[in-house]
């Protein structure tokens, strides 16, 4: 850890602060949303004000002066340096200590044999998980027309209780389907470091077993891309959008009966569109071409699944108003308009629709939805279900959909 006295202009990493209840009024829990640091610090409102000034531009003397101006009392130097030291020790400050910490994590991930479960361990025993899936996915859900095969799905990556209606409608389409040779799963890179496409070749381990990655297929995609997609593969370490699809697939087909090819996609609704915001990595459009060509040339049956949520509105996401029925109806109307472009096989128009107005409802998975729809350009899409997971008490709503692609 760096000596706090050496930090002249400390820079706080992006963090989230959540107010605490239960007799802890005025206290906040500060944590790293990326999960790189697992530390949670409890701070007071004045300390939170200090954190807001740690932008890499303010010196400690300037922070002290602004604190005194606001609170009409000075902050002791040892108190300020102690806070800085605690942040640094918790890996919440940018700097040499954090860089070294990330390198240790990256080295540990690369040397690990498998990518361990993040979400599934919270769900109970193997039998409990299987029972939950049997209840969630109806045996007599979607009725597959004669002579067609399911080649793709778009389903949520919400936790199973909230996303259950769409998980059920989507994965019921796989009931009775022959087990594919491989499943390409494109997920959302919520908090990772890469702003492009990220892959990993690590087998995925869950409570239902271990599923290998089709390394030859992944190599083929990378060769066609002309760049490595694994430079930031540690982004998969704590990302849930692939794992939540995999567990259901393991339940339906058996963990060792198929392989996966996992990819995480960045948000294509920013100023650079489908190109990486930082210029480092492959354009999503070029990735689509590489993935499509690899699927076409690969032996065996390939299923494509996007683990995707849609709008995120409410207090948790910064909206300072109640989610009235009329507002939620407007969110649904906007979501359904975007989905209509997927239903009519117009993924570019889908992106334009989501990005319109700077993505005001915070659709988080436009990237992986665009990729899946573009790769499956010659398949027939069908919207099976749309769902808003709304919590009246917390005033939070996340929407999702289930689409099936057939040939």
One domain for residues 160 and 304:
yes
125 lies in some domain: yes
Instruction: Quote the pLDDT of residue 18.
Output: 87
User: Nearest CA to 262 among 192, 197, 206, 207?
Assistant: 197
110 lies in some domain: no
One domain for residues 230 and 276:
yes
Averaged pLDDT, groups of 10, the chain, 407 residues long: 64 92 83 92 96 95 96 93 94 93 94 91 91 94 85 98 98 96 98 95 97 99 97 95 98 98 97 95 98 98 99 94 98 99 98 97 98 98 98 96 98
CATH code for position 37:
3.90.930
Q: Which of 58, 73, 105 is the last residue of a domain?
A: 105
Q: Which of 48, 78, 105 is the last residue of a domain?
A: 105
One domain for residues 264 and 369:
yes
291 lies in some domain: yes
One domain for residues 69 and 210:
no
One domain for residues 306 and 207:
yes
- Both tokens of 206, joined, read 């869950």
Eight-state DSSP code of residue 386: E
Q: Which of 42, 75, 105 is the last residue of a domain?
A: 105
252 lies in some domain: yes
Enclosing domain of residue 100 = 4-105
Phi, psi at 401, each rounded to 5°: -145, 160
- What is the rounded CA–CA span in Å between residue 9 and residue 328? 43
One domain for residues 49 and 160:
no
One domain for residues 79 and 121:
no
Residue 279 C-beta-side C-alpha neighbours within 13 Å: 0
- What is the rounded CA–CA span in Å between residue 353 and residue 213? 34
Return the CA Rg of the chain: 23
Q: H or E segment at 345?
A: none
One domain for residues 160 and 78:
no
Residue with tokens 């990302």: 239
Q: What is the DSSP string of 20-45?
A: --TT-TTEEEEE-TTSS---EEEEEH
- Both tokens of 279, joined, read 């210029």
Q: In DSSP terms, which residues pair with 304 in a beta bridge?
A: 152, 184
Residues 6+ apart with CB under 8 A from 339: 350, 383, 386, 401, 403
Task: Provide the pairing of β-strand 380-391 with 198-199.
Answer: unpaired
Instruction: Look at residue 208 and give its three-state secondary structure.
Output: coil
Instruction: Look at residue 404 and give its three-state secondary structure.
Output: strand
Q: What is the DSSP string of 248-267?
A: HHHHHH-TTSSEEEEEEE--
Whole-Å CA distances, 327 to 228, 322, 354, 355, 401: 43, 9, 17, 19, 19
Phi, psi at 163, each rounded to 5°: -90, 0
384 lies in some domain: yes
Burial of 394 (0-12, 13-18, 19+ CB in 10 A): exposed
Q: In DSSP terms, which residues pair with 41 in a beta bridge?
A: 30
CATH code for position 299:
3.40.830.10
One domain for residues 48 and 179:
no
15 lies in some domain: yes
- Looking at the 3D structure of the chain, how many domains does it have? 2
Burial state string for 295-325 with b = 16 or more CB within 10 A and e = fewer than 16: beebeeebbbbbbbbbbbbbeeeebeeebee
326 lies in some domain: yes
- What is the rounded CA–CA span in Å between residue 356 and residue 217? 35
Task: Provide the pairing of β-strand 302-307 with 150-155.
Answer: parallel
One domain for residues 258 and 336:
yes
- What is the rounded CA–CA span in Å between residue 58 and residue 289? 46
- Both tokens of 49, joined, read 């004000």
One domain for residues 194 and 339:
yes
One domain for residues 99 and 125:
no
402 lies in some domain: yes
Phi, psi at 307, each rounded to 5°: -95, 100
């Amino acid at each position: 850890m760096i000596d706090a006295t050496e930090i002249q202009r400390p820079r706080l990493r992006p963090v989230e602060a959540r107010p605490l209840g239960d007799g802890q009024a005025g206290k906040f829990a500060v944590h790293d949303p990326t999960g790189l640091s697992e530390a949670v610090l409890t701070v007071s409102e004045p300390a939170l004000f200090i954190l807001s000034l740690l932008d890499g531009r303010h010196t400690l003397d300037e922070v002290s002066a602004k604190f005194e101006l606001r609170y009409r009392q000075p902050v002791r130097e040892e108190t300020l340096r102690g806070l800085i030291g605690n942040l640094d020790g918790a890996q919440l400050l940018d700097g040499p200590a954090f860089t070294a910490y990330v390198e240790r994590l990256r080295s540990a991930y690369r040397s690990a044999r498998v990518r361990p479960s993040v979400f599934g361990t919270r769900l109970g025993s193997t039998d409990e998980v299987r029972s939950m899936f049997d209840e969630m996915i109806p045996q007599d859900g979607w009725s597959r027309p004669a002579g067609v095969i399911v080649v793709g799905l778009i389903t949520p990556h919400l936790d199973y209780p909230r996303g259950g209606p769409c998980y059920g409608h989507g994965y019921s389409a796989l009931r009775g389907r022959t087990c594919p040779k491989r499943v390409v799963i494109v997920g959302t890179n919520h908090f990772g470091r890469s702003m492009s496409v990220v892959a990993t070749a690590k087998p995925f381990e869950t409570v239902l077993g271990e599923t290998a990655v089709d390394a030859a297929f992944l190599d083929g995609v990378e060769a066609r891309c002309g760049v490595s997609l694994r430079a930031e593969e540690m982004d998969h370490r704590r990302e849930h959008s692939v794992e939540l699809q995999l567990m259901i697939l393991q339940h339906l087909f058996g963990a060792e009966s198929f392989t996966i090819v996992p990819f995480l996609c960045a948000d294509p609704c920013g100023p650079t569109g489908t190109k990486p915001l930082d210029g480092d990595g492959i354009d999503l459009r070029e990735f689509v071409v590489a993935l499509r060509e690899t699927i076409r040339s690969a032996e065996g049956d390939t299923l494509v699944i996007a683990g995707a949520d849609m709008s995120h509105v409410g207090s948790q996401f910064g909206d300072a108003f109640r989610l009235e029925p009329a507002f939620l109806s407007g969110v649904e109307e906007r979501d359904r308009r975007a989905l209509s472009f997927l239903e009519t096989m117009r993924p570019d128009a889908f992106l334009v629709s989501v990005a319109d107005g700077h993505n005001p409802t915070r659709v988080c998975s436009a990237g992986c939805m665009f990729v899946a729809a573009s790769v499956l350009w010659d398949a027939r899409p069908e919207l099976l279900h749309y769902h808003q997971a709304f919590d009246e008490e917390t005033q939070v709503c996340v929407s999702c959909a289930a689409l099936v692609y057939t040939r």
